[in-house]
Amino acid sequence: MTDLDTANTFTFERVLFFGRTLKEYEEMFNFSANDLKGFKILDCPSGPASFVAQANKYNVDAIGVDPLYENTFASLKEIVSRDLNDCCDLQVQVKDLAKNKRNMEIYRKEKDKAINFFLDDFDLGFQNKRYLPYRLPHLPFNDNEFDMVLSSNFLFLYSDYKFGGMMTNSPFDLDFHIKAVIELLRVSKSKLMIYPIRGPYTDNHEFLPAVLENLKNVEVNYFKTNYVDLFGCDQVLQITKHI
Ligand SMILES: C[S@@+](CC[C@H](N)C(=O)[O-])C[C@H]1O[C@@H](n2cnc3c(N)ncnc32)[C@H](O)[C@@H]1O
């Protein structure tokens, strides 16, 4: 895609601090928290999602990374509420958007659930290093430190709409995507799962083939997810590393 009149489109000038529940992660990545007991899992970026807070209750050693975790609890509370409002308002405003129209009342309730789990866990989790304020494409973890790495609703999605994402003037270019995916794979012992792999205005993201071409010793698969976002993406990218 080249040009889009961004005045009435589902595009953003910033990355939203916006999060999903454990139930949504289970659906998105086709796993059950029960099966992850004892595993060390990285969620990057984790945002105000409640995967980390809730999965830890199932004895999953889940760690969340997000640059905004350097903010105080009070600022995070403000940012998350601003971003939820902006996202819901835009969903209502942009008429041609949804292949997957939502009941906004139910949708907001789900989002509030994730936010409350996250906020309730944040202070203690931050002290216990469950929430770490790092920023892709550099993660100060050891090679192969995690059993699995999850990355949802950031890579590809927040690239520029011109390449298949939903951001205007996005700083997340192809070089960033290549470095970020290589880094996420470096810290994983085996699997990296990424969802979604495109934004609202394309079927095929322009960066995807080039990112995959730059990976060595990996197996690439796609699987169908029952968690279908607003734009109808039903594919998870699963990259498995051969050690
Ligand atoms: C929409 S949230 C996704 C949260 C969660 N994975 C989910 O699916 O609900 C996107 C997050 O990416 C974070 N982010 C922005 N720049 C980043 C970077 N360079 N590295 C890692 N995360 C970043 C933002 O702070 C934001 O919280």
- The answer as to whether 83 is a domain residue is yes
Tell whether 1 is covered by a domain. Answer: no
Structural domain tally of the chain? 1
Tens place of pLDDT per residue across the chain (243 aa): 556 666 678 888 999 999 999 999 999 999 999 999 999 999 999 999 999 999 999 999 999 999 999 999 999 999 999 999 988 888 877 766 655 566 788 888 888 999 999 999 999 999 999 999 999 999 999 999 999 999 999 999 999 999 999 999 999 999 999 999 999 999 999 999 999 999 988 889 999 999 999 999 999 999 999 998 888 899 999 999 987
Let me know if residue 155 belongs to a domain: yes
CA distance 16 to 164: 17
Give the residue, out of 66, 76, 230, with the most ligand 1 atoms within 8 A of its beta carbon, to mutate for a pocket test.
Answer: 66
Q: Please tell me the distance between residue 24's alpha carbon and the centre of ligand 1 in angstroms.
A: 16
> Which CATH number covers residue 30?
3.40.50.150
Is any atom of ligand 1 closer than 6 Å to the C-beta of 164? Answer: no
Domain extent, residue 202, equals 6-241
Residue labelled with tokens 């290093």: 129
Contact 24/110 with Cβ under 8 angstroms? yes
Residue with the nearest Cα to atom 15 of ligand 1? 15
Contact 176, 210 (CB under 8 A): no
